[in-house]
Structure 1
Amino acid sequence: MATAAPDAVKLLCATCGQMNRIPLDRLSAGPRCGSCGEPLADGRVAELDAASHDKAIRADGLPLLVDYWAPWCGPCRMMAPEFAKAAKVLAPQVRLMKLNTEDHPALSQRAGIRGIPALILYRNGRELARAAGARPAQGIVDFVTQTLRG
C-alpha cells in the first residue's frame, strides 16, 4: 500500500530555533517563522549554532546542505559568495546553511570534518553525501541535484 505524499514540511528557523510547519504549496510564497517572522526558505544562507545545527539536521523536512567553514580559511571565504548564489538557485526545495568550525570544534569533529570548506548534504536526519574543497555555485548546485536524483 502506497503512502500519501506529505502535504506539509517542518522547517527550523535558524534565528529563533522554532520549528514551523509549512504547507508544501506555500514554499514558493516566502514562508516566515511563526515566532519571530524571519524568512524560512527564501534562498538566504543561515548561520547555525550547535543546537540549531543538530535540530535542523534531525527535523528539517527539506534537504539541507551545510557548509562547514572557518573565518581564517581563504578557500572558505572565496566560496562564500558562490554558496550564496547556489542557495538562491536551489531555494525553496533545498536549504543551505553554514557552521563555523572555529566556533564549534566539537561539532565539526563529531561530523568527521577533516578539511574545510566541507559540504554535507542531509535529508531526513541522515547524511546523503559530502564534498570537500571550494567550488563554484554551479558545482554546488550540480552536487546537490545529482545526489538528490540518486
Structure 2
Amino acid sequence: MENTATNSAPVAHVTTKSWDSEVLKSDLPVFVDFWAEWCGPCRMVGPAVEQIGKLMAGRVKVVKVNVDENQEIAMRYGIQSIPSLLLFKGGKEIARTIGAMPKEAYIKFIESSLAKA
C-alpha cells in the first residue's frame, strides 16, 4: 500500500480506499479537511491545513479528502458544507468545525477538542 504522507508532504490525500487505514486505524488523532477544487474557502484553508500538518507533526496526523472524488466518505459523515474539518481519535469522530478560519483557530480547536476527549 502506498503511503502518501512523506516528510516533504505533511498532509496526506486520503481516498475511500485508504480511509480506514489512514484515519480510523491511526495511532495519532487525525484532523481531516473535507474540500473540493471548486470551493473558494477550501482553497483559502489549504495553506493553513498544510502548516498545521508541519506544526503538529508527531502529535496529530493531517489529511485531506476531496469530496468530489470520495463521495462515499463525505456521505458517511454527513458532510453538507465545505470546508468541513473533522477530528478523529481512536477511529471515532470527536469534533467538527465548518468553514474557513485562520490557522490559529484550527490549532485551538484541535487542542481543546483533544483535551476534552
Asked whether the two chains share a fold, i.e. TM above 0.5, the reply is: yes
Q: Contact conserved, 1:89 with 1:141, CA < 8 A, in 2?
A: no
Are 1:45 and 2:8 an aligned pair? no
| Structure 1 CA distance for aligned equivalents of residues 49 and 94 of structure 2 | 18
Write the mapping of 1:133-148 to structure 2, written as runs, cut at 5 A. Answer: 133-148=99-114
Q: Secondary structure at the match of 2:106?
A: helix
| Structure 1 CA distance for aligned equivalents of residues 9 and 102 of structure 2 | 17
Q: Secondary structure at the match of 2:44?
A: helix
In structure 2, do the counterparts of structure 1 residues 123 and 43 end up closer, same or farther at CA, with 3 Å as the change threshold? farther
Aligned counterpart, 1:66: 32
Aligned counterpart, 1:25: none
Moved more, 104-113 or 124-133: 104-113
Are 1:86 and 2:52 an aligned pair? yes
Aligned counterpart, 2:86: 120
Higher relative contact order (CA 8 A, sep 6+): 2
| Structure 2 CA distance for aligned equivalents of residues 100 and 14 of structure 1 | 17
Q: Shift in Å at residue 116 of structure 1? A: 0.2
Gaps of at least 5 residues in structure 2 are none
RMSD: 1.8
Aligned counterpart, 2:115: 149
Structure 1, residues 49-92: CA drift from partner, whole Å, max 9, x if none? 11111222221100000000000000000110011111111111
TM-score, normalised with respect to structure 1: 0.71
Gaps of at least 5 residues in structure 1 are 1-11, 16-37
Q: Return the letter of the residue paired with 1:138.
A: E
Q: Shift in Å at residue 14 of structure 1? A: 3.5
Structure 1: 4+ residue segments shifted above 4 A: none
Are 1:54 and 2:43 an aligned pair? no
| Structure 2 CA distance for aligned equivalents of residues 143 and 121 of structure 1 | 9
